[in-house]
Structures are given as structure tokens and as C-alpha cells.
Amino acid sequence: MRYVLMASACLMLISPHLIHPPLSQQRVMSHFVTYRNKRFGFCVTYPSDWQALQGEDSSGVFVLPPNQTGEPLLAGIEFGARVNQPSKSHAGMQTLEEIYTPTPDILPSATKVYNVTVISKKPYIFNGMDAIKSRMKYIANGQLWMAQNIVALSKDSIVYFSEMRCPIKECDVIRSVYERNVAQDFRLRCSRE
């Protein structure tokens, strides 16, 4: 009888997660919509309940989870592209190493960032292009944050980039969406419907 009661208690603890997954899993399983960048021809998907903020120069999009308003520093994901720039150190265009910066790129300019530490930085192939993939942590607004980014350079001199940033304590949902979108859904030369 004691074993039946213990098994029943365990089932009661587990069963809500079988019927209703935890919030972090619900967010990842939500419907996705597609952002199409007409200027550079790439597309990426993001959860339909997230907010998308188009860049001023139509070079990309910043997506953030629901219920993030009024904060001076927003957690989220940026996807974008730009034309490569001339190098400051040699004749010709910037190399991938010159393009890569070991600081979070999408922070508001007024944000003070301290103790930026690059956790990992390695060569990567992104959609058939040479790229650098990195992970860093830093302190901003008194909190420990994490950023992951990919910077890729195409043969036609277009720089593609993606970056995720979030307070470390709140990264689970944002990181899972970022890894899904970068690994599976970021496409170049997608349909321009």
C-alpha cells in the first residue's frame, strides 16, 4: 500500500508536465512566423508571440520575447546583414577577423558594459560561408548577461550576423529559439514574397 501511495504521489507531481509543459517549453513550441529581409534577401523565423523591431536602415530585425517593455536593456535576438567595409589596416575590404568584435553589438549606446569575457571563439561554417562563432559574458545594468553571436562573410562581400543576448538567469527560452533559428531556419536568398 505504501508503494502505491508513493507511486501515486510521483505521478501527481509529474503528470502536470505531461499535460501542460513548463512555460519555457511552451514558448519554444509556439507557432513561428517568417521575417524576410528585402534589402539583403535573407529570412529567419521567430515565435509568433514575440515582438519584431525592424532596423532603421532595413538591414535586419531584433526580436524579443513577450512582456518586455520599458526596460532600458532588452533581452532578445538580432539577425541582420550589411555591406562589408574597407579595411583600416590594409588595402581592400575587412577580413572576417577585423569584422568580429568581442563586445555585444546590439546594446543601446548608453548602456555601460563591464567585464566582457569571451568564453569561446571559433571558426565556423554558416550557410556555406566562413564565419566566427563566439560566446561571451558581461555585466550590464548590475546583472550578469550572456551573448552568443555569429558573424559570416559572403563571397560577394556581405556581412551576415546574428546575436542573442539575455541575463544569464533568463536565457533558457531565448537561447533555445536562437539555436533553433540559427541552426535550422536562417536562410540566404529565400523567397521574396
Question: Going from the N-terminus, what domains does the chain have, and what CATH number goes with each?
Answer: 23-185 (3.40.1000.10)
In degrees and rounded to multiples of 5, residue 58 shows phi and psi of 60, 30
The pTM score is: 0.77
Residue 60 scores a pLDDT above 60:
yes
* Residue-level pLDDT at 57: 84
Residue 22 scores a pLDDT above 70:
no
Tell me the pLDDT of the chain averaged across its residues.
79
* Residue-level pLDDT at 85: 94
In 3D space, the residue among 66, 79, 62 whose CA is nearest the CA of residue 24 turns out to be 66
Provide the CB-side half-sphere exposure for 8 (13 A, CA): 5
